[in-house]
Copies of this chain bind each other. A is one copy, B any other.
Amino acid sequence: MRRLLFFAFLLTLVAAPLGADEPLLQGFTNPSSTAERQWEQKFRALPSPQLMRDYMQRLSARPHHVGSPYDKANAEWILSKFKEFGWDAHIETFEVLFPTPKERLVEMVEPTRFTAKMQEPPVAGDPTSGQTSEQLPTYNAYSIDGDVTAPLVFVNYGLPEDYDQLQRLGVSAKGAIVIAKYGHSWRGIKPKVAGEHGAIGCIIYSDPRDDGYFEDNTFPQGPTRPAEGVQRGSVMDFASSNPGDPLTPGIGATPNAKRLSVKEAPSITKIPVLPISYGDAQPLLAALQGPVAPEAWRGALPITYHVGPGPAKVHLVIKSNWDIKPVNDVIAKIPGSTQPDEWIVRGNHHDGWVNGADDPISAQVDMLEEARALGQLRKQGWKPKRTIIYAAWDGEEPMLLGSTEWAEEHGDELRQHAVAYINTDGNGRGYLGVEGSHTLEHFMNGVARDIQDPESGVSVWQRDEMGRIAQAKSDEDRKKIRDRADLRMGALGSGTDYTTFVDHLGVASLNLGYGGEDPDAGIYHSIYDDFYWYTHFSDTNFVYGKALAQTAGTAVMRLADADLLPFDFSDFADTMQLYLTQLKKLAQDKRNEAIERDRELDDGLFKAVNDPRRPKVAPPREEVPPYLNFAPLENAVAQLDRSAKRYQETLQKAWAAPQGLPAATLDGLNQKLMQSERRLTDDAGLPRRSWYKHMIYAPGVYSGYGAKTMPGVREGIEQKRWPEANAEIVRVAKVLENESALIDSATDELAAAK
Contact = CB atoms under 8 A, between A and B. Distances in A.
Contacts of A517: 611, 613-614
A611 B456 CA distance: 8
Interface in A552-607: 592, 596, 600, 603-605, 607
B222 A304 contact: yes
Given A208-B302, A302-B301, A603-B466, A458 B608 contact: yes
Q: Is the interface of A mostly helix, strand, loop or mixed?
A: loop
Contact of A217 (B304, B466, B596): B304
A671 to B, nearest CB: 41
Nearest to A478: B596
A467 B609 contact: yes
Contacts of A45: none
A292 B216 contact: yes
A21 interface: no
Interface in A608-653: 608-614
Given A455-B612, A612-B455, A213 B475 contact: no
A644 B218 CA distance: 63
Contacts of A430: 611
Interface in A285-305: 292, 298, 300-304
Contacts of A467: 608-609
Most buried by B among A292, A466, A475, A604: A466
A475 B208 contact: no
A470 interface: yes
Interface residues of A, number: 46
Contact of A298 (B214, B453, B607): B214
A596 B304 contact: no
Nearest to A306: B217
Interface in A514-531: 517-518
Nearest to A613: B517
Nearest to A222: B304
A385 interface: no
Contact of A608 (B300, B456, B612): B456
Most buried by B among A300, A463, A603: A300
Nearest to A614: B517
Contacts of A604: 458, 466
Contacts of A694: none
A469 B605 contact: yes
A216 B307 CA distance: 12
A429 B613 contact: yes
Contacts of A603: 466
A26 to B, nearest CB: 25
Interface string A457-501: 010001100110110000100100000000000000000000000
Contacts of A301: 302
B304 A609 contact: no
Contacts of A518: 613
Nearest to A305: B214
Contacts of A609: 456, 463, 466-467, 470
Given A456-B609, A596-B478, A611-B517, A302 B213 contact: yes
A612 B429 CA distance: 10
A304 B613 CA distance: 34
Contact of A304 (B213, B303, B453, B612): B213
Nearest to A519: B292
Contact of A302 (B216, B298, B302): B302
B302 A466 contact: no
B466 A608 contact: yes
A517 B611 CA distance: 7
Nearest to A471: B609
A616 B743 CA distance: 48
Nearest to A475: B592
Contacts of A302: 208, 213, 300-302
A298 B215 CA distance: 9
A589 to B, nearest CB: 9
Most buried by B among A216, A302, A517, A610: A302
A469 B605 CA distance: 8
A304 B222 CA distance: 10
A600 B292 contact: no
A596 to B, nearest CB: 7
A214 B222 CA distance: 25
Contacts of A304: 213-218, 222, 224
B292 A608 contact: no
A302 to B, nearest CB: 4
B429 A608 contact: no
A463 B608 contact: yes
Contacts of A455: 610-612
Nearest to A610: B456
Contacts of A216: 292, 304
A40 to B, nearest CB: 23
A213 B458 CA distance: 47
Contacts of A469: 600, 605
15 contacts: A208-B302, A214-B304, A215-B304, A224-B304, A429-B613, A456-B608, A456-B609, A462-B608, A467-B609, A469-B600, A470-B609, A475-B596, A478-B596, A517-B614, A518-B613
- Name the 6 nearest CB pairs between A and B, nearest first: A466-B608, A302-B302, A517-B611, A466-B605, A456-B608, A213-B304
Given A224-B304, A456-B610, A466-B604, 11 more contacts: A214-B304, A217-B304, A301-B302, A453-B608, A455-B612, A456-B608, A463-B608, A463-B609, A466-B603, A467-B608, A467-B609
